[in-house]
Structure 1
Amino acid sequence: MNSTNLPLESSQVVQVEWSDRWIVYHRLQELHIPSYCATHQPLQVQLSSPTEAIQLWSVIKQYSASRRELIEWLHTCWQAKET
């Protein structure tokens, strides 16, 4: 059995829309962030670094924010880079 499919001992439950949690779970797997998601259960994620926390935030933001919010966030990033 793949260890990424086992419940995590010290993990955080992440509130994600039920329709998006499998997509978020698979993206976290691609990023090598330990996570666990069972049928009819919330997503659990084990974070071991600030980088993983930022990646988790970014993945969730991708699926929870509106298109307009994402565009505004991108513009803010571009403006910060120019200064």
Structure 2
Amino acid sequence: MRLHHGIDRGRRIQIIIDGERVDAFEGETLAAAMIEQSPAFRRDTKGMARGMFCNMGTCGECTVTLLPGGRRVRACLVPAQVGMDVTRD
């Protein structure tokens, strides 16, 4: 859940997560924007939802795919940018 009071943020931007437009703020990570939409970043082999774990780039639980190129990145390390297209697949 994103804090809203007493926080200075960059300007509001939009990114696309799994085909859905989501508000983000300049200066925040993809992970921060994605958590606002859903805490689940992926499903494990049993179909159970998995979320962020370390939030510092060591565990890989927040790995997502940037479209259209298909580059896999850790969402906790990548700043949200206008028009980014991201999938959890």
The alignment's TM-score, normalised by the length of structure 2, stands at 0.24
Query: Whose helix proportion is higher, 1 or 2?
Result: 1
Higher relative contact order by CA 8 Å / sep ≥ 6: 1 or 2? Answer: 2
